[in-house]
Amino acid sequence: MLRIAHIINTVKVGKQSDLHSAQPVTFETMRRARDFSADTVTVQLYSAQFPEDVDVVPDWIVKTPDLESSILNVGKFQKSRKLPLIKDILDRLYEASEADYFIYTNVDIALMPHFYLVVAQLIESGIDGMVINRRTIANTPCELAQLPLMWAQAGEEHPGYDCFVFQRGAYPDFELGTSCIGVNWIGKVLLANVYAHSENFKTFADLHLTFHLGDDRSWKVSDFYDYDLHNERQLHTILKNFESQGWLDQRDLLKKFLSETSREQDTDHIKPAKRKWWFSCG
């Protein structure tokens, strides 16, 4: 039976955060999707969290060792945000699980009940690395008792990258630098690694497998521009390394990412509000 391990970064938030509604929905849909696929796929659910967030993790999700560092240990930023490094999260998954395939999703990405079954069938078809773009549904309903109403919405396509599936055996070759989650470019950092280390990679933009409550486009906020710039520079370095090893050959999307980061390097002197935000999704 195929084994899949899925990790998220769980965080304690106040009622003012959109995660206050979205995160419990994510938790419950992960549990239900796991149970729905139990006869076909072995699914392990994991969380990586800071010590102050431990009590938010539900019983059906395994807590990996608490995160010990954040982006604030890497550099100085205008506003303090304790954002985890993606490498710290995925390292914990690699250490915790011997599953055949790993999944990372943002904590505000909820699942359809058949999510793991479809992922398993895509893997069995020969796809060994994939990104599944979410559907955006209405902000409400958002109560757990109303999950069927959420599942019933077809939603709208969204261009951002927020769900990644890859082989466990490929992970030791990933280059993630000190990129952090929660700000721009992280989706492209992950996509670049999954794509570069897959024999048969595919991005799915039209599958109704994951969803997000509302579309607040918080990634457009320029208050945390310096975090965005950090991730963008990490991506540029990663792609240049991949290019030197020939991993960008026949991968036009990654060449496009490299071109984007190269152009952005030339605009660092421009005030954040003047910079283009076309790169922000992911």
Q: What are phi and psi of 96, to 5 degrees?
A: -90, -30
Residue 172 CB neighbours (<10 A): 8
| Residue 4 near residue 120, CB atoms below 8 Å | yes
Range of the domain at 162: 2-222
Total domain count, the chain: 1
10-residue block means of pLDDT along the chain (282 residues)?
98 91 96 98 98 97 98 94 97 98 97 98 98 95 94 92 98 98 96 97 96 72 84 97 94 95 58 38 45
pTM: 0.92
Amino acid at 246: G
- Please give the pLDDT value at position 24: 96
Q: Residue 238 domain-assigned?
A: no
Q: Residue 246 domain-assigned?
A: no
- Please give the pLDDT value at position 215: 80
Q: Residue 175 domain-assigned?
A: yes
Q: Residue 115 domain-assigned?
A: yes
Q: Residue 199 domain-assigned?
A: yes
- Please give the pLDDT value at position 280: 35
